[in-house]
Amino acid sequence: MSIEQLADTALAMVAPGKGIIAIDESNATIAKRFEAVGIPNSEENRRAYRELLLTTPNLNEHISGAILFDETIRQSTKAGVPFTKVMMDNGIIPGIKVDKGTHPLAGCPGELITEGLDGLRERLKEYAALGARFAKWRAVITINVDDGLPTSTCIEANAHALARYAALCQECGLVPMVEPEVLMDGTHDIDECYSVTEATLRALFSALHLFDVDLTGTILKASMVVSGKDCAEQASVEEVAEATLTCLKSTVPAILPGIVFLSGGQNDHDATAHLNAMNQYETPWPLSFSYGRAMQSAALKIWSQDLVGNLAKAQETVYARARENGLAALGEWES
């Protein structure tokens, strides 16, 4: 795929009023979410749940793409139609999570590095053949002021991995979605989150330049600048919007096609409210969403009560959340 085609795909991913649904949970993660609502973690239940999400009527009105897991991109509907075909037939772009998760970063106690670069070129080629048009890699940055975290070593190591991944994606014809998540966990205030997010994004775009990644065919999946979950003083919606936008404008090149936000553990309402507030301002790039839990949690609870009888009701909830966030991506959501 040429860089022009990559750029076209990237722009389609952030089309006005549309965002990306993240259904890329590993089997271990989906097991925890199923367990919380009493659903057995069988392959068939995982397949049925992903089918529920991907076949939600009119989902493409507000969803441009979906990030899948390795198991999911190989699965089909109960009628035998591959999920990727269902998506493409409905104008939803297939994506794939390609990292192998986080592991302790040697020499940096309390910090994490994302692994999965070994063999990545071959895996990307396979995923492209299966129908994927973009990929995602998540890095994790932990804030712990008392322990002096994050270290510059952790930030630089994760930025380097993200850039190597992104370069491989473009070589294999996939749009790289780069996700440097600054975790909400902790007692830090919004100012500390701002400082860490700014340093992380500066390191990321420096590394992307080093590896000659074409930004016109790249999407940033960003965390918002928020107070730590355990901070005594929680920033307001307006403060989050202003801090996040100031941070992005000081670090992210205007040539980037768009930015999608992760929910990062925010509740459904806050994730939508923050996105809507940011879209009240002029920005160099479209600001949209790539939510997982904030898109699915309500529907999962409904579906868990009756896996057959509540299917349509659960899908109505998925559509409603997609619509709310689609409106927020336009700055037109009203709570």
Q: Where are the beta strands (DSSP E) in the chain?
A: 19-23, 63-68, 93-97, 102-104, 112-114, 134-141, 175-182, 219-222, 259-261, 287-291
The token duo for 166 is 């992104």
Residue 230: how many CB atoms within 10 A of its CB?
11
pTM over 0.75: yes
Are β-strands 112-114 and 102-104 bridged in parallel, bridged antiparallel, or unpaired?
Answer: antiparallel
Can you give the residue ranges of every domain in the chain? 3-328
Q: At 202, which amino acid appears?
A: R
Residue 179 annotated to the active site:
yes
Could you give the dihedral angle defined by the CA atoms of residues 265, 87, 10 and 250, in that order, rounded to the nearest 10 degrees? Answer: -10
CA distance 81 to 62: 22
Residue 221: phi and psi, rounded to 5, are -105, 110
Predicted pLDDT of residue 334 = 94
Predicted pLDDT of residue 335 = 84
Could you say which architecture CATH assigns to the domain 3-328? Alpha-Beta Barrel (3.20)
Q: From residue 313, how far is each of 2, 78, 267, 308 by CA, in Å?
A: 42, 19, 21, 10
From the list 25, 179, 192, 324, the catalytic residue is 179
Residue 216: phi and psi, rounded to 5, are -70, -15
Long-range contacts of 78-85 (CB under 8 A, 24+ apart): 78/48, 78/51, 82/131, 83/50, 83/51, 83/54, 84/130, 84/131, 84/132, 85/131
Residue 122: how many CB atoms within 10 A of its CB?
10
From the list 18, 97, 136, 221, the catalytic residue is 221
pLDDT tens digits for the chain (335 residues)? 788 999 999 999 999 999 999 999 999 999 999 999 999 999 999 999 999 999 999 999 999 999 999 999 999 999 999 999 999 999 999 999 999 999 999 999 999 999 999 999 999 999 999 999 999 999 999 999 999 999 999 999 999 999 999 999 999 999 999 999 999 999 999 999 999 999 999 999 999 999 999 999 999 999 999 999 999 999 999 999 999 999 999 999 999 999 999 999 899 999 999 999 999 999 999 999 999 988 999 999 999 999 999 999 999 999 999 999 999 999 999 98
